[in-house]
Every structure is written in structure tokens, then in C-alpha cells.
């Protein structure tokens, strides 16, 4: 029988996760004898993911790799999955340690935290006001990145973070929040959106307000979706890791753990196929790779890939 690995995402239809699913299929083809179940709720809620997890448990899948909408609420359901012998890992947006065997960060959190503020600061040599547009207030990864960012603020004198708002990973809400930021802070210089939905919406809002070039929208986004913003000047640069690689790596890890080729424990190294190896820290989390910066010089090369 094929090994069945479920890739559970925050919500169906988001470009980032669609790309991750592509990577998962790539890994499955490489491994052979692996079936990928790509699933998730239609809105970004924990209850929706729990129902999905329950039906995956019922189907007796071999592994679940999840990007969580809530780090805590999913724990009981995922624990149950592990009790029934299912391998559970989280990736992208993590679950509390008791609810998974390991967590795969797309990149190291420190690096991302530093990266997003650096992207803004590089274009503000004189210093200035920046604001953060996050996803849902409960999104684990965004919160950690912002936390890491705040830790290194000392390295960027003159840069002031004036506000943090939440767009809930909804394009329209993010758009309005970005508008609100521009109204409240007329001297705003940059918006940092460490979310692929938020960054596009913020760029659109800046463009519509006629402030492209004046306010720099940066953060984490997909080249395909951000090409227009780079072109208009609303965004000077942004970063992202490759979501295809992320889906690929998560699948590889899930497979390795499920077959017993590797065990998740602090200090362990788990193979990720063409992505090399991930080394787990004391909370059983590890980082995949460094984020990559995109700007006018390289966007055209990547915008058709993901």
C-alpha cells in the first residue's frame, strides 16, 4: 500500500500553499509509493482544521504535516492523531511542542526577524517610521518573527516601529488596515508585511493612495504576486523562501519519520532530499534555508515560477 501523507494548510486557495503542494507532489514522485492528500479548511480557523484532522485520523493516514491556524487549539486533536500512531509534524506556522513531533521553520526565526527590518532599513538611511501589517493575531510564525524583529531593533537606530495591525490574511481587511496606517501616520516611510497576503494588499493600498515610491512596502511575499508592486515602485524589495522547497522538505521529513528512517529528538538530523538536512534544536524545531531577496533586478526571472 502507498504511504499517505496529508499536507494540511491554513486555508485552501492561497498561492503560497498551492506552491507548497507542488513541492510535496515533487517529493512524493521522488520517493515513490507516496500519496499526498492536500487539504485544509476554506477559512483560516482552528475549528475547521480540527474537523479536517479528525477525518484524516479516521482515514488512518500515515503522516500529517500541518501549517497551523492556532498553536494551542490544535494540540488535543493532533495528540489524538499521534496516539493513533500517526506521524505529526508542523511546518511554516507551528504547533505547540506537545502537539507535534517536530516543527520545520522555513528559515531561522532570528534570520527572518532581522531580514524584514533590514529590508525596510536599507532604504531608510536617515531613519524613519515603519509599521507592521501582520496576518491573524493568532498566527504563530508572524508573531515570532515580529518578536525577533523587535529584539534586533537596536541595530537599526532611527527606525521607529509605530504600530502593528492585523489583516487576518484577508486581502480586503489587510487593504483597509494599510489605508488606516497611512491615515494615522502621515509620515510613514515603510510598511512591513511578513505575510504573502498582507504584502500584496498593502502594496495595492499604497499604489491607490498615490504613494508608490514614498512608502516602501516590504516583508515576505511571492514573486508572482509582487511583480506588479515592484514595477510600480510600491515595493522596492521583499524576501521569501521558496514555498515549493518548503512543501518538498516537509514531505521528505514526514516520510522519514513515518518510515522510522529518522526520529525527532533534540539534536537529531533529518534528511530532506535535495534540500539537505535539518538539525533539530531543544524544542524539536529546525530551519530549512535562508530567505532570498527579490527586487527589480531578479523579479522577472522568478515571477513565473511561484
Partner 1 sequence: MLKRLLASREILLLGAIMALLALIATRFPGFVAPSNLAGVFNDTAPLILLAIGQMIVILTRCIDLSVAANLALTGMVVAMINVAAPGMPIGVILIVAILLGTLLGMVNGLLVWKLDIPPIVVTLGTMTIFRGIIFLISDGKWVNSHEMSAAFKALPRTELLGLPVLSWIAIAAVLIFALVMRRTTLGRAFYAVGGSPHSATYTGINVGRTQFWAFTISGALAGLTGYLWVSRYAVAYVDIAGGFELDVVAACVIGGVSIAGGIGSVAGALLGALFLGVIKNALPVVDISPFWQLAISGSAIIIAVAVNARANREKGRIILKSAEHAA
Partner 2 sequence: MSTTDRFIPDRLQSPLERRLKSWESLLLLVAIAIFIANSFASPYFLNAWNLSDATFNFTEKAMIAFAMALLIISGEIDLSVASIIALASTAMGAAVQLGAGTPVLILVGLGTGLLCGAFNGFLVTRMGLPSIVVTIGTMSLFRGISYIVLGDQAFRGYPADFAFFGQGYVFWVISFEFVLFALLAVIYGVLLHKTNFGRAVYAIGNNPTGALFSGIRVARVKFILFLLTGLMAGVAAICLTSRLGSTRPSIAFGWELEVVTMVVLGGVNILGGSGSIPGVVIAAFVMGLVTFGLGLLNVPGIVMSIVIGALLIGVIALPRLWKMWRG
User: Could you say whether residue 200 binds partner 1 (CB under 8 A)?
Assistant: yes
CB-CB contact of 294 with 237 (8 Å): yes
Instruction: With contacts defined by CB under 8 A, name the span among 78-86, 91-99, 114-122, 196-204 that binds partner 1.
Output: 196-204
User: Could you say whether residue 42 binds partner 2 (CB under 8 A)?
Assistant: yes
Instruction: With contacts defined by CB under 8 A, name the span among 5-13, 73-81, 239-247, 274-282 that binds partner 1.
Output: 5-13
User: Could you say whether residue 176 binds partner 1 (CB under 8 A)?
Assistant: yes
Binders of partner 2 among residues 102 to 161 (CB under 8 A) are: 136-138, 143
User: Could you say whether residue 164 binds partner 1 (CB under 8 A)?
Assistant: no
Q: Which residues contact 259 (CB under 8 A, 6 or more apart)?
A: 3
Q: What would the DSSP string read from start to end of 56-120?
A: HHHHT-SEEEE--S-TTTTHHHHHHHHHTT-EEEEESS---GGG-SEEEESS-HHHHHHHHHHHH
| Cα of 21 vs its chain's centroid, Å | 14
Cα separation, 22 vs 135, in Å, equals 23
Q: Which of 63, 95, 201, 275 binds partner 1 (CB under 8 A)?
A: 201
Binders of partner 2 among residues 22 to 41 (CB under 8 A) are: 37, 39-41
Cβ closer to partner 2: 51 or 160?
51
Closest approach of partner 2 to the CB of residue 51, in Å: 6
Q: What would the DSSP string read from start to end of 153-198?
A: GGGSTTEEEEEEEE-TT-HHHHHHHHHHHHHH-TTEEEEEE-SHHH
Binders of partner 1 among residues 203 to 232 (CB under 8 A) are: 204, 208, 224-228
| Cα of 44 vs its chain's centroid, Å | 14
Q: Which of 1, 42, 83, 282 binds partner 1 (CB under 8 A)?
A: 42
Instruction: Specify the 3-state DSSP secondary structure of 205.
Output: helix
Cα separation, 249 vs 179, in Å, equals 37
Binders of partner 2 among residues 228 to 247 (CB under 8 A) are: none
Cβ closer to partner 1: 87 or 195?
195
Q: Which residues contact 299 (CB under 8 A, 6 or more apart)?
A: 223, 226, 227, 230
Q: Which of 51, 147, 214, 300 binds partner 2 (CB under 8 A)?
A: 51
Q: Which of 91, 145, 156, 175 binds partner 1 (CB under 8 A)?
A: 175
CB-CB contact of 206 with 175 (8 Å): no
Cβ closer to partner 1: 216 or 284?
216
* Angle at the Cα of 293 from the Cα atoms of 291 and 296, rounded to 5 degrees: 160
User: Could you say whether residue 306 binds partner 1 (CB under 8 A)?
Assistant: no
Q: Which of 68, 88, 111, 165 binds partner 1 (CB under 8 A)?
A: 165
| Residues near partner 1, by CB under 8 A | 11-15, 18, 42-43, 163, 165-166, 170-172, 175-177, 179-181, 183-184, 186, 200-201, 204, 208, 224-228, 303
- The residues binding partner 2 (CB under 8 A) are 12, 37, 39-42, 45-48, 50-52, 54-55, 57-60, 70, 72-73, 75-76, 80, 84, 136-138, 143, 166
Amino acid at each position: 500500500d502507498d504511504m499517505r501523507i496529508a499536507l494540511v494548510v491554513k486555508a485552501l486557495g492561497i498561492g503560497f500553499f498551492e506552491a507548497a503542494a507542488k513541492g510535496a507532489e515533487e517529493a512524493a514522485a521522488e520517493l515513490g509509493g507516496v500519496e499526498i492528500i492536500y487539504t485544509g479548511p476554506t477559512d483560516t480557523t482552528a475549528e475547521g482544521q480540527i474537523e479536517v484532522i479528525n477525518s484524516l485520523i479516521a482515514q488512518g493516514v500515515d503522516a500529517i504535516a500541518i501549517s497551523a491556524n492556532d498553536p494551542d487549539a490544535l494540540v488535543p486533536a493532533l495528540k489524538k492523531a499521534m496516539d493513533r500512531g500517526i506521524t505529526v509534524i508542523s511546518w511554516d506556522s507551528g504547533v505547540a511542542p506537545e502537539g507535534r513531533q517536530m516543527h520545520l521553520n522555513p528559515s531561522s526565526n532570528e534570520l527572518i526577524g532581522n531580514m524584514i527590518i533590514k529590508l525596510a532599513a536599507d532604504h531608510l538611511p536617515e531613519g524613519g517610521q515603519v509599521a507592521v501589517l501582520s496576518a491573524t493575531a493568532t498566527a504563530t510564525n508572524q508573531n515570532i518573527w515580529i518578536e525577533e524583529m523587535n529584539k534586533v531593533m537596536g541595530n537599526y537606530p532611527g527606525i521607529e516601529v509605530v504600530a502593528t495591525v492585523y489583516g487576518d490574511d484577508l486581502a480586503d481587511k489587510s487593504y483597509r488596515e494599510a489605508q488606516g496606517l497611512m491615515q494615522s501616520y502621515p509620515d510613514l516611510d515603510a510598511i512591513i508585511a511578513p505575510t504573502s497576503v498582507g504584502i500584496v494588499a498593502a502594496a495595492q493600498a499604497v499604489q491607490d493612495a498615490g504613494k508608490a515610491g514614498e512608502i516602501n512596502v516590504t516583508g515576505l511575499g511571492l514573486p508572482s504576486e509582487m511583480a506588479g508592486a515592484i514595477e510600480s515602485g510600491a515595493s522596492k524589495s521583499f524576501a521569501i523562501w521558496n514555498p515549493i522547497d518548503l512543501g518538498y522538505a516537509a514531505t521528505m521529513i514526514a516520510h522519514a519519520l513515518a518510515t522510522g528512517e529518522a526520529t525527532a529528538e533534540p539534536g537529531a538530523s533529518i534528511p530532506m532530499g535535495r534540500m539537505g538536512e535539518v538539525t533539530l534544536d531543544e524544542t524539536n524545531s529546525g530551519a530549512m534555508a535562508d530567505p532570498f531577496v527579490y527586487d527589480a533586478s531578479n523579479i522577472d526571472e522568478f515571477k513565473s515560477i511561484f
